[in-house]
Structure 1
Amino acid sequence: MDLSYKTTKEMGSNLTWIRTGGEVEVFRPDSILELKSFVKSGVDYFPLGMGSNTIIKDTNLDKVILKLDNLYKEIELEYPYIIVGSGVPNFTVSRFCIQNFLGGLEFLHTIPGSIGGGVFMNAGAYGSCFSDNLEWVEVMDIFGSVSKLYKKEIKFSYRKCHVPKTFIFLRACFKVFKDEKIKEKVDGYVVSRNLTQPRFLTLGSTFKNPEGKKAWELIDQAGCRGFAIGGAKMSEKHCNFIVNTGGATSGDIVKLINSVQSFVFSKTGILLDREIVLL
């Protein structure tokens, strides 16, 4: 195994929005050659964007966190397409679209995280998701080979992109259109989000919506709105969101998730499926 790459020791709590997690090894390549060398080394890794829907365990994570902070940060406009680096934050893409009066991606403004993670999760909001306007993604496999996958080659489903978990998303291309009212749409989404969702020290939606159901309604019916374990709590503002009320551990969050799943199943017979990622 090639151990020539250099990692740093960092706290998982500094890498995720929920601000929990113990010490982990992190690798930030400065070039595509470094990235290829790293993935070809055989090390077990997890590509992490902004950590907006990820929980890093409190101790003994047995894989290296891969961060592309130093690569793939560009947005290119080749109308009617925009090509975006995987490390670009969603709200940065939304602002770019507002400045250039480009429609089709306005929902990104309300989704925390970056483009690579959004494609991998097929994240969405307000009736739209990443796969809707996607044309292609550029990926790297475990052998360091870079290829382009067109949308028709990828199976997308609700909050899921069916590609190997070891794939590293490098860039994505989306189709856009001219829209003079893009800012009005984004402003409307922001107002709605701020009224209904907690903003900080959260993970976004904890559970996927079961077919024909709303996860938050099932959680509410089970009496779990405001339910807490340690410093982790089901938000009273939106009970499908977990918030860190201060001093929460990843262990608290996992226990809370398992408990809510159990309560909802006992009440409704429905087993909620996690939307967030546990490492």
Structure 2
Amino acid sequence: MSAALTSHPGNPLPEFRGRLTQGAALGPRTWFRTGGAADLLLIPEDAADLAQAMRALEPGMAVTALGACSNVIVRDAGIAGAVVRLARGFSDIARDGDGIVAGAAALDMTVAEHAAEMGLAGLEFMAGIPGTIGGAVRMNAGAYGSDIAAVLDWVEIVTRDGTQARIAGADLDFGYRHSGLPPDAVVTRARLRATPADPAAVKARIADVRAAREAAQPVRARTGGSTFRNPEGHAAWKLIDEAGCRGLLRDGAQVSEKHCNFLINTGTATSTALEELGEIVRARVLSASGIDLHWEIRRIGRTHA
């Protein structure tokens, strides 16, 4: 545990209204079901509670925001500093004219479903993204022909010093799986543009997205989504397949037989095994094609205890 916390044997944030846990296990919260503990886990009640906590944390303490943990490897030695996880107070979804305002903890799939019920089109692609709005904005999540950059009007954040701010989507310098958000900022809410449409037609497109995802991806396995970014002009899964890595197994971690750009915990893998398998895949692809794959899954936490 970090020195910043060992100096607080009791509650390091006495005015915090949410839930606070020291040494909180994170593995059970991740889709891979692997990983160590957080030095300090904060689940704030609302944006004001989060802002107050960010101000009260010692200035040098690292802050890591986690959402659904669907696209992350939490390393086995855990995460230093504070981990922020947004829950009930950040999950509201409401219509706002021709768009939707959603809390950062709202699931992307649920936002797509609400948009369909409201007769709003343009967010169907989100039914294929197994994460939250906060994570989607942070990494400019995309699927099935669209991404967050194409629909984001604004995002509200809390910065590391506790400042609450709203940033226009046009000012975020979006790129492929990248946003220009401050590194330590926590997304709290966002507005997404949409277009009025027939609800039945929107629901049909969502059904198509789900069917395509189910057919192509190992959705019922312990996985973490697309492992590597697609290099320009190439499909990562095809490069992995051509390098002979389909089904490759290491210490309970496996390259999916169904979709080569997915890693799977077959039941006994550790985060270390998953990350090491990913590096083996990268090395084999580089040797076979000369192309250096870059991780899309976030790998966070200490490399050593």
| TM superposition score normalised by structure 2 | 0.88
> How much does 1:60 deviate?
4.3
Secondary structure of 1:161 counterpart: coil
For residue 206 of structure 1, the aligned residue among 219, 227, 235 is 227
1:138 and 1:50 map into 2 onto residues whose CA distance is 19
Could you report, residue by residue, the CA deviation over 1:22-73 in whole angstroms, capped at 9, with x for unpaired residues? 2223111124343123212222110000000011111243232211114211
Distance in 2, Cα, partners of 1:79 & 1:33: 26
Offset at 1:188? 0.9
Give the Cα–Cα distance (whole angstroms) in 2 for the partners of residues 278 and 56 of structure 1.
Answer: 6
Query: CA, structure 1 residues 87+110, in 2 after alignment: closer, same or farther (shift >3 Å)?
Result: same
TM (norm. structure 1) is 0.96
Residue 124 in structure 1 maps to residue 142 in structure 2 = yes
State the match for 2:272 in structure 1: 251
Q: What is the aligned counterpart of 1:20 among 30, 34, 40?
A: 34
CA distance in 1, matches of 2:171, 2:183: 16
Q: Which residue does the alignment assign to 2:263?
A: 242
1:60/1:99 Cα in 2 relative to 1: closer, same or farther (>3 Å)? closer
**Equivalent residue in structure 2 for 1:69, among 78, 87, 108:** 87
Hey, what does 2:303 align to over in structure 1? Answer: none
Which residue does the alignment assign to 1:78?
96
RMSD: 1.4
Corresponding residue of 1:144: 162
Moved more, 69-78 or 138-147: 69-78
1:222 pairs with one of 222, 240, 243: 243
Read off the aligned partner of 1:111 and give its amino acid letter.
Answer: I
2:218 aligned partner, one-letter code: P
Q: Which of the residues 176, 193, 205 maps onto 1:185?
A: 205
Aligned residue-pair number: 279
1:30 and 2:50 aligned: no
Q: How far, CA to CA, are the matches of 2:255 and 2:272 in structure 1?
A: 15
2: distance between equivalents of 1:32 and 1:193?
34
| TM superposition outliers: structure 1 runs of 4+ over 3 Å | none
**Partners of 1:189 and 1:30 in 2: CA distance:** 33
Secondary structure of the corresponding residue to residue 7 of structure 1: strand
Judge conservation of contact 2:99–2:120 (CA < 8 Å) in 1.
no
Identity of aligned residues (%): 35
Question: What is the rounded CA distance, in whole Å, between the counterparts of 1:60 and 1:127 in structure 2?
Answer: 35
